[in-house]
Amino acid sequence: MVKVLLLNPPSDLLLYKEDRCQNEVDVHLNRVIRPPISLMGLAAISEKLGFQTKIIDAPIEGINLEMLKKFLKRWKPHWVIANVSLETLESDLSPLKVVKAFGAKTVVFGYAPSIRDIEIIENAPFIDFAIRGEPEKTFQELIGSSLPPSSIKGLTFRENGSIKHNQDRKFIDNLDELPFSAHHLIRNNLYRVPTTGAIFTTIQTSKGCPHRCTFCLSNLLNGFKIRQRSVSNIIEEIKLVVQKLQIHNFFFRADTFTFDKQWVLQLCHEILKNNLRITWFCNSRVDTIDEEMLIIMKKAGCQLITFGVESGDSRILQYIEKGITKEQVKKTIFLTKKIGILTGTLYILGLPGDTLKSIYNTIQFSKEVDSDIVEFLPFLPFLGTEAMNQTATNISPLSIRKLARYAYVQYYCRPKIALRQIRNFYVKSRGLHQLMNLIIVTVKTTYRLLKK
C-alpha cells in the first residue's frame, strides 16, 4: 500500500504556517498552539484515495531530525509532503534532503512555494515537486491520478534538467467537495485552550476575503472571493469530531468568519437545533458584526472573538487600507462584551508608515478599547503583498520588539485586568480547576513577558 507522510518539519523556530498566519508563535503573549489544519486537510484526501497516511507536526511533538530519521527508516513512506514557509525556509527544506535519501518523493506546499517555487526547485535538487497556491486539488492529482506532472495545474517540478512551471490553478469554488479534515491523525492532546486546558481542534469554515489590507496574505493565498462551506457540511464535521474524538471545543477558522450574517445565523441555529453543546472561538472584523449576530453566537457556544484592529492611529489605518474606523472598534468591542463574549484584539507594531507617535497612539487606544485579551505583534513584510511597495517604518526590528514589550506591560499591568481575568475564567465558570489553570497560565505569561 502507498504510504503518505504529511510533515511540519523539525525546527527551532515555532511558526504558524497556515495561509495568512505566518508569524512566530512566541511573539504572541497568549500562546495558542493550533492544530496543523493544512496537513489535516491533505491527509484526509490521502486517506480517501485509500493510502496509508500519517501526520507529523514535528515542532509541537518534539521530534528532531534524528527522531525523524528513525521514523523514516521504520515506516518507509512513498510520499512526503511538507508545509514550508519563508521564515523557516532553510530549516523546513533541510530535513527533506534526509527524506530523499530514504527514497521517498518529496513535495512542498505553502506560502514559500507559492511565491518562490522556481528558486526552491533550483536550489534544492532533493525536492521533486512544489505545489503553488491552494494545494488540495493539485495534491490529489499528483499522488492519486495517472496524470503526467506536466498536465497538473499549480505544479512546479524538474524534468530532464529543466524546471517546469505549469499553469496556475483556480481556487476551489465548492469547499464541500473536500473531505473532512483528518482530526484523528494528530495528537489532539497537544492542542489546548491556554486558559482552560481543554483540548480543541480547528474547522476550516470558509476561505477568502474581499478586503484589501496591504499587509495581509489572504488575497494572495485564498483569493478575494469568500467561499463558504455549507452549514450542513460544517455541522456534520462537528458531529463527527464530537462523537469519534469527544472534542467539544473548536476554532472556526476563516479569513472573514462574520462576513455573511445570514450564513452565521444559520450555522448558529443549526448548532442549537442539533444540541451539539460545543464551545468555539473565531476571528472577525469590527465592521461585519451586529447585536443580533452576537446574541445567537453566544447562545450557540461562542466564547471568544478576536478582532484584527492592527493600529490605533487613523492615518495608519487608512494607509494600510484596513477599511475600519476607531469608533467602529470601540463600539464593536463594547457590544461584544455586553453580550457576554470574551474579546481579543490584535495590533501590529511597525506597520508601513508607523512612527513612534503612531505606535504610542496604538498603545493608548488599546487601553481605551480595553478588550479581554490583547496582542501586540511585530510587523512582518510578506513578499507578494502591497505593503512591500509602501513606505517602511524607520524604527528598527529590535526597537519594535521592545515597544511590544512596553505595550504589554502598559496593558496588562493594571489591577482591573487581573480582577477581570479571575471573573471571566473562575467566577463565571465556578471551577477550581480553571482557577488553578489560570494561575499557571498567568505565571507562565508573566515569565514570557519579562523575557521579551
Mean pLDDT, to the nearest integer, of 136-140?
Answer: 98
Strand-pair category, 302-310 with 162-165:
unpaired
State pLDDT tens for residues 96-135: 999 999 999 999 999 899 999 999 999 999 999 999 999 9
State pLDDT tens for residues 281-300: 999 999 999 999 999 999 99
Predicted local confidence at residue 437, as pLDDT:
56
Q: What is the distance between the alpha carbons of residues 343 and 222, in angstroms, rounded to a whole number?
A: 26
Rounded mean pLDDT of the chain? 91
Which residues are within 8 A (CB) of 121 and not within 5 positions of it... i.e. 6 or more apart?
127, 130, 156, 157, 158, 163
Which residues are within 8 A (CB) of 349 and not within 5 positions of it... i.e. 6 or more apart?
359, 362, 376, 377, 378, 379, 400, 403, 404, 407
Q: At what angle do helices 356-369 and 326-339 cross, to 10 degrees?
A: 30
Task: Check whether 423 has a pLDDT greater than 80.
Answer: no
Predicted local confidence at residue 435, as pLDDT:
55
Which residues are within 8 A (CB) of 230 and not within 5 positions of it... i.e. 6 or more apart?
176
Predicted local confidence at residue 332, as pLDDT:
98
- Amino acid present at 261: K
Task: Check whether 441 has a pLDDT greater than 90.
Answer: no
Q: DSSP string of 391-431?
A: PPPSS-HHHHHHHHHHHHHHHHSSHHHHHHHHIIIIITTT-
* Architecture of the domain defined by 192-413: Alpha-Beta Barrel (3.20)
Whether pTM exceeds 0.85: yes
Task: Check whether 17 has a pLDDT greater than 90.
Answer: no
**In this structure, which topology does domain 3-165 adopt according to CATH?**
Rossmann fold (3.40.50)
DSSP, collapsed to helix, strand or coil, labels residue 141 as helix
State pLDDT tens for residues 288-331: 999 999 999 999 999 999 999 999 999 999 999 999 999 999 99
Q: In the block, which residue shows the cell 534544492? A: 124
Mean pLDDT, to the nearest integer, of 406-422?
Answer: 79
Predicted local confidence at residue 161, as pLDDT:
85
Task: Check whether 430 has a pLDDT greater than 50.
Answer: no
Task: Check whether 216 has a pLDDT greater than 50.
Answer: yes
Task: Check whether 11 has a pLDDT greater than 90.
Answer: no
State pLDDT tens for residues 139-155: 999 999 999 999 999 99
Who wins on pLDDT, 220 or 337? 337
Q: What backbone torsions phi and psi does residue 349 show, to the nearest 5 degrees?
A: -105, 135
Are the CB atoms for 144 and 49 separated by under 8 Å? yes
Predicted local confidence at residue 275, as pLDDT:
97
